[in-house]
A and B are shown apart, each in its own frame.
Chain A
Amino acid sequence: MHIIVCVKQVPDSGQIRVHPVTNTIMRQGVPTIINPYDLFSLEEALRLRDKHGGEVTVVTMGPPMADQALRKCMTYGADRAVLLTDRFFAGSDTLATSYALGLLIEKVSETWGAPDMIFCGKQTIDGDTAQVGPGIAKRLNLLQLTYVQKIEDFDLEKKEVTVHRRAEGGIQVLKTKLPCLITMLEGTNEMRRGNMSDALRAARAGIITWSAADAGITNLALCGLKGSPTIVKKVFAPPARTEKAHQIEVADKSYEDICDALLGEVYKRQPALEHDLVKMAPGY
């Protein structure tokens, strides 16, 4: 069995700061991590491999330093990692990204065997689009199952998979044919701690690095900024509100007095609220 997992190296969003004067992102020194949503998909792939045998190949597109994220994936137990890096890919939107990753996966399939399953993260924490997974599925003409909460059944013989998919108001139980593309929901599993032998293997293993040409991507007009139909025209800080909060100071007042003052303010600004609360709230 062969499973391909797509990951992305992203800046740790918790540590991003915006310059107070210029409103630009201060990227310097912001550490990078594997997109957290990807780890739920990687873990699920590793579990399937551990149970059914085979190999897990992790792939990414990014700058040369993205090899760090791939090496980390290997310490978790991935069997091989491929980095697609080339200046032609700079400025790719989701359509251009799915084009490049689709061709990369085709090349990986030619080299190490067609995948039975492809995993992507639900979305990334930097782009937050959730569009690249469906995009890759469409590029490869694969069925897609997004927001999967649980892989209920995986039958390699029959080439079938049954999953629980998060939908509005409940869970859809869906069955489809392999190969397919799955994005896992967050919180569905817990990433393993890599063991010593995987850590040693990862340290020794080479990350396979391909250029556009290596991956057989020749139509560069469909890559990067050129191949992106969307254009970011303006980046700006959220407008500041002129009105500051009406602050109630504690000083030497009792908490009861403060809360009375607060309720006064709340009801003054929302005159209908008290009446509605009586109707809505339990037990009055």
Chain B
Amino acid sequence: MNDKPKAPAAPGGNSRANTKKELPEHLKAYKHIWVLLELERGVVHPVSWELMGEGRKLADKLKVDLCGIVLGAPGTTAGAVADSFGYGGDVCYVVEHPSLADYRNEPYTKVMTELVNKYQPEILLLGATNLGRDLAGSVATTLLTGLTADCTELDVDAEGSLAATRPTFGGSLLCTIFTLNYRPQMATMRPRVAQVPLLTPGRTGRVIRHEVSLPEDDIITKILGFLPDGTTNKSNLAYADIVVSGGLGMQSADNYKLVRDLAAVLGAEWGGSRPLVQKGWIPTDRQIGQTGKTIRPRLYIAAGISGAIQHRVGVEGADLIVAINTDKNAPIFDFAHVGIVADATKVLPALTETFRKRLAVAATRSAAE
């Protein structure tokens, strides 16, 4: 276990990888698109389904199969396997073993490497989650292939190579990265930038079960326990339907309460821009933007946020962006849909009150119907 990388999935010689050449013979057989389905404590991470949606589009362009990969304890994978077909998969590779019950780098790296070497996918996609990034780095280094992190867009070019686009330089620019002469082409994708596709119940596909030898005694890292997050006060920004956030325009930690007041009335999550975390007005897990959370709510209300590019890349996926800012030329109005040019500390209390009243009226009306 934990072997040093030695079997390069790469062409020999010292030629530059910079130009597309004909793939060496042993890599030509690499075919089909794989998505690792992150199954943890009985639940598949939504980013895995988002990737199935994106993977389906790539598979259709390349005319190859889309394959889900499910690793888990015996008897725990059936739901994920069925859903992998419902979300567009053609094939599902399943590895069940007691040592795969919870994520650990050693056994997961061993199994993923073994699967890739045996079944040879041309593209391997994982979520840019803690699990996905921990695993992808180990697998890519073991296979000595290219890995592009935290992508926001995946496509294939005219020659069928994976074009992985990601923000660079703090989100101010995007770059498109290729792995031309190595296989598989690997990428992790940022959660919430793609949409979960519609589930087609009853859609089926081919299941390939792979047996592994994983003696628990050979695995050095042991799991002593799991401490679930408390439900109170925990940020669920990434998957919230409505988010209210504040920036430096809130002027003080005291005024930031106005953001939470509105969030409370809307049953929304609350957060803020990076400077607020640095000032200690909000905790780190409430930071929205490039170095914080990427959100994709139906409604996003940004109060006193100027809209620097680092913030923009984290919120652009919102269906409707409402901005409140005193500066009518602030960059946030370049990507907001509706804006109020005014002091957010004055507008928020009125907005909270307006929502409260109108919702009360709407509730009465719907109760009467």
> What chain B residues lie within 8 Å of A274 (beta carbons)?
358-359, 362
User: A130-B137, A167-B130 are contacts. A244–B146 as well, Cβ < 8 Å?
Assistant: no
**A229–B174 CB distance below 8 A:** no
Q: Does B261 contact A (CB under 8 A)?
A: no
**A176–B221 CB distance below 8 A:** yes
Main DSSP-derived SS at the B contact region: mixed
Question: In the complex, which range does the number of interface residues on chain A fall in?
Answer: 35 or more
**B299–A266 CB distance below 8 A:** yes
Question: How far apart sit A278 and B266, CA to CA, in the bound complex (Å)?
Answer: 9
Question: How distant is B167 from chain A, measured CB to nearest CB, in Å?
Answer: 8
Mark out the residues of chain B between 21 and 74 whose CB falls within 8 Å of any chain A CB in the assembled complex.
Answer: 38, 40-41, 45
User: A174-B222, A236-B174, A250-B341 are contacts. A263–B137 as well, Cβ < 8 Å?
Assistant: no
**Which among A59-67, A194-202, A253-261 touches the partner chain?**
A253-261
**B142–A138 CB distance below 8 A:** yes
**B338–A246 CB distance below 8 A:** yes
User: A130-B133, A274-B362 are contacts. A226–B16 as well, Cβ < 8 Å?
Assistant: yes
Question: How far apart sit A269 and B336, CA to CA, in the bound complex (Å)?
Answer: 13
**A273–B298 CB distance below 8 A:** yes
> What chain B residues lie within 8 Å of A144 (beta carbons)?
105, 134, 138
Q: Does A230 contact B (CB under 8 A)?
A: yes
**B221–A126 CB distance below 8 A:** no
Question: How far apart sit A70 and B136, CA to CA, in the bound complex (Å)?
Answer: 29
**B102–A172 CB distance below 8 A:** yes
Q: Residue B339 contacts which of A17, A186, A245 (CB distance < 8 angstroms)?
A: A245
User: A230-B179, A259-B347 are contacts. A16–B334 as well, Cβ < 8 Å?
Assistant: no
Question: In the complex, which range does the number of interface residues on chain B fall in?
Answer: 35 or more
**Chain B 335-362: CB-based contact to A (< 8 A → 1; otherwise 0):** 1111111100011011101110011101
**Which among A73-81, A90-98, A111-119, A209-217 touches the partner chain?**
A90-98
Q: Residue A139 contacts which of B141, B320, B336 (CB distance < 8 angstroms)?
A: B141
Question: How far apart sit A255 and B181, CA to CA, in the bound complex (Å)?
Answer: 60
**A231–B177 CB distance below 8 A:** yes
**A281–B177 CB distance below 8 A:** no
> What chain B residues lie within 8 Å of A280 (beta carbons)?
241-242, 267
Question: How far apart sit A237 and B104, CA to CA, in the bound complex (Å)?
Answer: 38
**B298–A248 CB distance below 8 A:** no
**A232–B363 CB distance below 8 A:** no
**B134–A146 CB distance below 8 A:** yes
**Which among B2-10, B88-96, B201-209, B244-252 touches the partner chain?**
B2-10
> What chain B residues lie within 8 Å of A133 (beta carbons)?
137
Q: Does B85 contact A (CB under 8 A)?
A: no
Question: How distant is A31 from chain B, measured CB to nearest CB, in Å?
Answer: 14
> What chain B residues lie within 8 Å of A284 (beta carbons)?
359-360, 362-363
Q: Does B178 contact A (CB under 8 A)?
A: yes
Q: Find the residue from B38, B149, B349 having the highest chain A CB count within 10 A.
A: B149
User: A230-B146, A230-B148, A250-B341 are contacts. A282–B354 as well, Cβ < 8 Å?
Assistant: no
- Total contacts A to B, CB within 8 angstroms? 303
**A229–B144 CB distance below 8 A:** yes
Question: How far apart sit A234 and B157, CA to CA, in the bound complex (Å)?
Answer: 13
Q: Which residue of A lies closest to B157 (CB)?
A: A233
User: A131-B133, A235-B168 are contacts. A266–B224 as well, Cβ < 8 Å?
Assistant: no
Question: How far apart sit A37 and B167, CA to CA, in the bound complex (Å)?
Answer: 19
**Chain A 263-284: CB-based contact to B (< 8 A → 1; otherwise 0):** 1011001100111111011101
Q: Does A29 contact B (CB under 8 A)?
A: no
> What chain A residues lie within 8 Å of B142 (beta carbons)?
138
Q: Does A143 contact B (CB under 8 A)?
A: yes
Main DSSP-derived SS at the A contact region: mixed
> What chain B residues lie within 8 Å of A95 (beta carbons)?
140-141, 144-147
Question: How distant is B238 from chain A, measured CB to nearest CB, in Å?
Answer: 11
Q: Does B195 contact A (CB under 8 A)?
A: no
Question: How distant is B254 from chain A, measured CB to nearest CB, in Å?
Answer: 19
Question: How far apart sit A256 and B163, CA to CA, in the bound complex (Å)?
Answer: 49
Q: Does B87 contact A (CB under 8 A)?
A: no
**A245–B350 CB distance below 8 A:** no
**A16–B170 CB distance below 8 A:** yes
Q: Does A162 contact B (CB under 8 A)?
A: yes
**A129–B149 CB distance below 8 A:** yes
Q: Residue B40 contacts which of A138, A167, A259 (CB distance < 8 angstroms)?
A: A167
**B168–A245 CB distance below 8 A:** no
Mark out the residues of chain B between 135 and 172 whose CB falls within 8 Å of any chain A CB in the assembled complex.
Answer: 136-138, 140-142, 144-150, 163, 167-170, 172
Question: How distant is A167 from chain B, measured CB to nearest CB, in Å?
Answer: 6
Question: How far apart sit A177 and B1, CA to CA, in the bound complex (Å)?
Answer: 14
User: A170-B227, A229-B144 are contacts. A234–B17 as well, Cβ < 8 Å?
Assistant: no
User: A130-B149, A235-B173, A263-B355 are contacts. A143–B338 as well, Cβ < 8 Å?
Assistant: no
**Chain A 123-143: CB-based contact to B (< 8 A → 1; otherwise 0):** 001111111111101110101
> What chain A residues lie within 8 Å of B227 (beta carbons)?
164, 170-171, 173
Q: Which residue of B lies closest to A272 (CB)?
A: B298
Question: How far apart sit A138 and B229, CA to CA, in the bound complex (Å)?
Answer: 30
**B226–A173 CB distance below 8 A:** yes
**B18–A231 CB distance below 8 A:** yes
Question: How far apart sit A40 and B7, CA to CA, in the bound complex (Å)?
Answer: 35
Besides A130-B133, A146-B134, 12 more A-B contacts (Cβ < 8 Å) are: A25-B169, A95-B147, A129-B147, A135-B137, A225-B16, A236-B176, A241-B335, A245-B336, A258-B342, A259-B347, A263-B358, A281-B266
Q: List 18 A-B contacts (CB under 8 A).
A: A13-B310, A23-B173, A134-B138, A138-B138, A168-B40, A170-B228, A173-B226, A174-B224, A229-B145, A233-B163, A237-B172, A237-B174, A238-B173, A255-B347, A258-B350, A259-B347, A280-B267, A284-B360
Enumerate the 5 nearest inter-chain pairs by beta-carbon distance, A residue then B residue, closest first: A134-B137, A221-B14, A229-B146, A13-B170, A284-B363
A residues contacting B by CB (< 8 A) are 11, 13-14, 16-18, 23, 25, 93-95, 98, 125-135, 137-139, 141, 143-147, 162, 164, 166-177, 186-187, 220-221, 225-226, 228-238, 240-241, 243-250, 255-256, 258-260, 262-263, 265-266, 269-270, 273-278, 280-282, 284
